[in-house]
Amino acid sequence: MQKRGRDAELSRLRLALRRHLDELKKAVKVVMARGALVKGNVYELARKCGKPNCACQRGQLHRSMVLSSSERGKTRLRVLPAGRVAEIRQKSEAYLRLRRARAQVTKSGKEIVAGIDRIEQLRREDI
């Protein structure tokens, strides 16, 4: 490879490495946050109870706020007390942010290692 082309590629790789390190720093900041986490997603569930004379049979479904989470490969729904919905939703969103940050750490880590390997290849001098 020509020196000019190699130097340009090294420059691009160093820039990309800095960008990945910045992404990694942001993700680690999310991971290092304090506060409790709740695994799952909070949403409103509307359902029919099955009683033949109930209003839900005429379209007025029973509504409740639930936490949906996966345990041992199965989805589990838990009805949330009305007074704790906002708190649990906040903790659930914090959990989702942590999981996204974890995925970013994995992705950035792989890209950082690949970039370092390529920089090493370009900088290596055969004697």
Is the pLDDT reported for residue 1 higher than 70?
no
Q: What percent of the chain has pLDDT over 90?
A: 82
Tokens matching residue 122: 């370009």
CA distance 30 to 45: 30
Q: Where are the domains of the chain?
A: 3-123
Tokens matching residue 64: 């409740």
Pairing of strands 62-71, 41-47: antiparallel
Is the pLDDT reported for residue 4 higher than 90?
no
pTM for the complete prediction? 0.77
pLDDT in tens, 55-94: 888 888 999 999 999 999 999 999 999 999 999 999 999 9
